[in-house]
Amino acid sequence: MRILIQRVSQASVTVDGQVISKIGKGLLILLGIGHQDGEAEAISMSEKVAHLRVFEDAEGKTNLSILDVKGEAIVVSQFTLYANTSKGRRPSFIEAALPEVAEPLVKKFAELLQNHGVPTQTGKFGADMLVEIHNDGPVTIWLEK
């Protein structure tokens, strides 16, 4: 499981001209699922994301989690996080899980994040999405399990 987290002041996802997800302060989470990933990884990573201290406290130190700041999240499936560019110029995505494996795990991750107390929305699996990100900081964190 590969996750690219961006701390945002606002973010949205648009599909076919319709905004399907929109948040204010929070996290935009790009989530890639690999062949070896299962529910255990979704459980572990959702807990980590919910408690990851990437928001500033009163002293300007990153000591607060998304829960502490009452932020929101958008989870967007992103198989391209598994791009392998070691050979040639065209990325290979053979390390990414097939859609029938990945989609339920993306949904499970979002559900678990919601269960941790983070208001969570999602993109649309497999759709061509326009993701608007107002990266705050900028703060971008890479997590891998």
Residues designated catalytic: 78-80
Please name every residue paired with 45 in a beta bridge, in sequence order, or none if there are none: none
- H or E segment and range at residue 64: strand 62-64
**Long-range contacts of 52-58, Cβ-Cβ distance < 8 Å, separation of 24 or more:** 52/5, 52/141, 54/5, 54/7, 54/27, 54/139, 54/141, 55/7
